[in-house]
Amino acid sequence: MPVHILPTINGQTSLYGIIGHPVRHTLSPVMHNAAFASMGANSVYLPFPVLPEDLHDAVQGLKALGIKGVSVTIPHKEAILPLLDEVEPLAQKIGAVNTLVVTEINGKKHLRGSNTDWLGAMRALSQKISLRGAEMVLLGAGGSARAIGYGLQQEGARLVLCSRTETRGRALAAELGCPWQSLEDISHLRGTALINATSVGMQPDIQHSPVPAALLSRFQVVMDIVYAPLATRLLQEAEKAGCQTINGLEMLLHQGVAQFELWTGGPAPIELMRQHLYRATGNIHPQSTG
């Protein structure tokens, strides 16, 4: 096992972190602190548990304490929007941010919100396929599906949205300008890739898959945003069907890489971040895909 040396904390240390509730389980400090350490940066990334009723005070505190950048996770990704000074256009469309960059404009702290969840999914998918013109089947109608759907739209993919809840699914499909299909009636669907943006298959219900195994051979690539467990039933059955697979840690990795790039303005040590993420979950990291 490698020896982890804590950075020297002093008056020059730049502070980054993640706000959400709960955040005890978050893997973000693992990859971001490894990245900062590899660059020799005097920076540290910490988890900050913030209850919904404390969000306004927490956002003001970010400015007052001189924090440089923040990841935003459940349940604050949508509620935080009206508290920010600026929200990037695509994040505004998605209706959620997961990244804050703190700058200074005219002597005042300025909070800009971005969304790298969609970018993380697109980068993970792009390791396997070309997205422009690809036929994608997206499962889910929640926040993750929304971010991925807008990302696919941005990249020029053709999309079919599938969900169990018709009202919510049709509403999101209308926004994305794509067809909606009930998740109970997808036997005729096929495409370049299938993306599971639901929580089906997540611990403790690891025996479940969102789609029948017999359908998976119709897709070149199957991606699951769930990373606990890493090898979901969906991904196991997809491998047996001859599909290329993308696990949930890859999306987490790539959205974190995009965050790091926003905060530092430079390239992130992606392979190092990947190694630390996989090691933290007790898995052997795969060979680099690019």
Name the 3-class secondary structure at 268. coil
**Which are the contacts of 176, defined by CB distance < 8 A and separation ≥ 6?**
149, 150, 153, 159, 161
Domain residue ranges in the chain: 14-115+250-280, 118-246
pLDDT score of 3: 42
Q: What is the DSSP string of 188-200?
A: T--EEEEEE-S-T
**Which are the contacts of 193, defined by CB distance < 8 A and separation ≥ 6?**
125, 128, 129, 134, 135, 136, 137, 219, 220, 221, 222, 223
**Which are the contacts of 81, defined by CB distance < 8 A and separation ≥ 6?**
87, 92, 95, 96, 97, 113
| Cα distance from N-terminal residue to C-terminal residue, the chain | 25
Calculate the average pLDDT of the chain: 93
Cα(90)–Cα(119) distance, rounded to whole angstroms? Answer: 11
Helix ranges (DSSP H) in 9-98: 28-39, 55-64, 89-94
pLDDT score of 288: 44
Say if 14-115+250-280 and 118-246 have the same CATH topology: yes
pLDDT score of 10: 86
- Assign a CATH topology to domain 14-115+250-280: Rossmann fold (3.40.50)
State the average pLDDT over residues 225-244.
Answer: 96
Which residue among the candidates 68, 77, 93, 108 is catalytic per the annotation?
77
Cα(260)–Cα(51) distance, rounded to whole angstroms? Answer: 25
Q: Which helix (H) or strand (E) holds 169?
A: helix 166-176
Among 112-116, 165-169, 248-252, 283-287, whose mean pLDDT is lowest? Answer: 283-287
Write the CA distances from 258 to 77, 118, 142, 204, 267, integer angstroms.
Answer: 17, 10, 22, 30, 9
pLDDT at 167 over 60: yes
pLDDT at 1 over 50: no
Q: Does the domain at residues 118-246 carry the CATH identifier 3.40.50.720?
A: yes
Catalogue the E-assigned strands of the chain. 14-20, 43-49, 69-72, 86-87, 99-105, 108-114, 135-139, 158-163, 180-182, 191-196, 219-224, 244-246
Write the CA distances from 38 to 32, 172, 275, integer angstroms.
Answer: 10, 41, 13
Cβ 182 vs Cβ 162: under 8 Å:
yes
284/143: higher pLDDT:
143
pLDDT at 43 over 90: yes
pLDDT in tens, 189-216: 999 999 999 999 998 889 999 999 999 9
Q: Is 63 a catalytic residue?
A: no
Cα(137)–Cα(219) distance, rounded to whole angstroms? Answer: 9
Single out the residue of 129, 149, 147, 146 nearest to residue 137, CA to CA.
149
Indicate the pLDDT class of residue 144, thresholds 50, 70 and 90.
Answer: very high
State the average pLDDT over residues 238-266.
Answer: 97
Q: What's the pTM value of the predicted model, to 2 decimals?
A: 0.91
Q: What is the amino acid identity at position 194?
A: L
pLDDT at 165 over 60: yes
Alpha-carbon 47 to chain mean position: 17
